[in-house]
Amino acid sequence: MTYDIVTFDIFDTLVHRRLRAPVDVFEAVRQSALQTRIALLNHDIISSFTHHRIRAEAEAREIIASKTSGEGEISFDEIYDRYQEITGCSADVRQMLQSTELALEKRFLFSSPRGMAAFNDLRQKSEKIAFISDMYLPSAWLTQTLEEKGFDGAASIPTFVSGEHRKSKHSGALYKEVALALGVPFSERWMHVGDNVHADITKAKEHGLSTTHADWARIDNRRQVSAFPQREYLARSIIDSINLSQLSHLVPEGEYEGIGYKSFGPLIFGYIVWLMSKVREAKLDHLVFVARDGWLPRQLFDDLKQTAGLNHTTTSYIHFSRRAGYQIGLREWDISQAWAAFTGKVSKPMGECLETIGYDAKALAPTLERFGFDETTVVDEPKRVAAHSLVTTTFQHGLSRSCANRRQFKKYFESHFQKSKKTGIVDIGWNGNIQRYIVSTIAPEISKEEVIGLYIGLHSSATPNRDIGLNMSGWMSNYGTNQFVEQYLQSGGVELLEFALTADHGTTLGYREDEDGTIVPVLEPLLDEEADYREKAMKVQEGVRKFVSDHAYLLEIFSPEILSSTAWVSPFERLVTDPSPDEMRLLAGLSHSDTAGATSSRLTLAARQDDKTRKSKRRLARARQDAFWKAAFDKLNS
């Protein structure tokens, strides 16, 4: 069917905002304005912008309605006239805020795929096209913005805005204005497309128009009252918008890619932003990203650093692991570092435990025999006391070997750490042991105080490493100051994050010297046991990369300091503590290494137990203790 005219609503029909609610753009204006020099002398005014901007619009409508006995439709300038009266701000401050609002409206807007399709289809079936909007923004700005968002010819299409005509679609009066101005009678040959059931459908039908309901957006334009700090509001609005139907096309179709985008993507983006703020604060020249968890963050940091004004900050990727650290980074004996190889949920043979810390069980055969072991002996609970005594006697072996390795392989580390460059170490974190080994390896040329560790999180168990002088900071968890965060990290969060950050190469076993004298890392071959795990992790990372790419524009608007917030963790926190059935189906069956440094010994994150186990409180409790992901275990066995 062809039409005499097709009219389109604009907002939430043709374009959408990347925010939970349209009103949230005012918070973006507030945050952006706080970065400006003018904010230094007008801090109180700008800090309360969101509240006063909402109030100014409401009061401006009341004033105009009272003066004109009309609908209270207002213009953008009239809102800011009232804002200036309320706040007493200067003309310069008003101009800055007004121009910032227009700029950010445009930055947060994107064209609706379905709206674009409807526009391109219906314009071919109509003699005339027009835009009708219940809006205060200027019509010239609206049409130019539509043109920039891909609606070809929009700048020359007649546009009717309620604020300019003092009439609205909501009352039906704006339709009469369009009919009169364009000389088009009300009839079924006039098609109107819009999202608001009352203004775009009911009122249009009252005039005899044909209608198409633009039902592809879900909108609630109320500012959300929240117990969270105001500094988190914008980040949470952006995160919440991901689940709105109008943004669903941004989420990758694959299941693992989708989890990467929605659950891990915000966390990794938030961490990179925090990392950038710390680089600026500490004036770091170089960042060393530690394998394997630093593989993806390094790539993302390099992708974003120019946008954040950090192009001068160089990066490198160092192959390192706890196992490698024990071989090269020991300067003083600490039994707890060695004993970690004997921990885990499953008892392992002595040879496998010693291999985890780089010891050759055959070379230590006499010592093993003295304590009643050989390399095949399983170190179960009854044998742990003897095993602990055995490890205690190896201090001379460990220290001597570490010293020799430092002399041989030191050049590898010198390529990453230079006295002339202020350097940060970037890794997933938790206890700080990797940093401890690295700074021991590069000392005494570079002191431990000169290297800053910047981690996704640090557990309370990192405190001893801080107490010996290591300079470290954690983002989502900083020495366990937030017990809730540390608890869910230690109840499956760590394993899920390590999965999402898996590198596409094996763990570092040690180092060797090539024929030409080059020091190269020795990497464990990619194991068949890890193949499925790694393949799924790469899919998750595709989703993470897309989330970061889709939101990189935020760094063009806001400084890392403004954007930095642990609010970006919230989707991941929900995943760990309250997973959905689909999330458990995709992730609970993943395997994870039982002990740090031992990738060949792997257990599933959570599993449904057999009937016999589920009917026994004791057996179920033991199974839960052995499970990595507690919330998933509880749901699978409820």
CA distance 582 to 579: 8
Report d(CA 95, CA 481) in Å as an integer.
43
Contact 483, 513 (CB under 8 A): no
Tell me the DSSP string of 264-323: IHHHHHHHHHHHHHHHHHHT-SEEEEETTTTHHHHHHHHHHTTTTT-TT-EEEEE---HH
CA Rg value for the chain: 31
| CB contact burial 308-318 (16+ within 10 A = b; e otherwise) | bebeebebebb
Cα angle value 562/564/566 (rounded, 5°): 140
What's the confidence (pLDDT) of residue 396?
Answer: 79
Token representation of residue 39: 């904010």
Quick check: 163 and 189 in contact, CB under 8 A? no
Structure tokens at 534: 């790694």
| Tokens 């009300």 -> residue | 186
Are the C-beta atoms of residues 394 and 257 closer than 8 Å to each other?
no
CA distance 137 to 91: 19
Residue numbers of the chain with a pLDDT score lower than 70: 227, 333, 335, 337-339, 594-602
pTM: 0.92
CA-closest candidate to residue 189, choices 370, 3, 325:
3
Contact 132, 9 (CB under 8 A): yes
- pLDDT, position 211: 98
Contact 143, 164 (CB under 8 A): no
Residue in 492, 454, 459, 497 with CA at minimum distance from that of residue 475: 454
Could you give the CA distance from residue 136 to residue 23 in angstroms, rounded to a whole number?
Answer: 13
139-143 long-range Cβ contacts below 8 angstroms, 24+ apart = 139/164, 141/102, 142/10
Q: What is the DSSP letter of 382?
A: G
How many C-beta atoms lie closer than 10 Å to residue 222's C-beta? 9
Instruction: Report pLDDT for 594.
Output: 58
Contact in structure between 611 and 514 (CB atoms under 8 Å)? no
| Chain center to CA of 328 | 34
Question: What pLDDT, in 10s, does the model give residues 74-98?
Answer: 999 999 999 999 999 999 999 999 9
pLDDT digits (tens, 9 = 90+) for 168-201: 999 999 999 999 999 999 999 999 999 999 999 9
The pLDDT of residue 596: 53
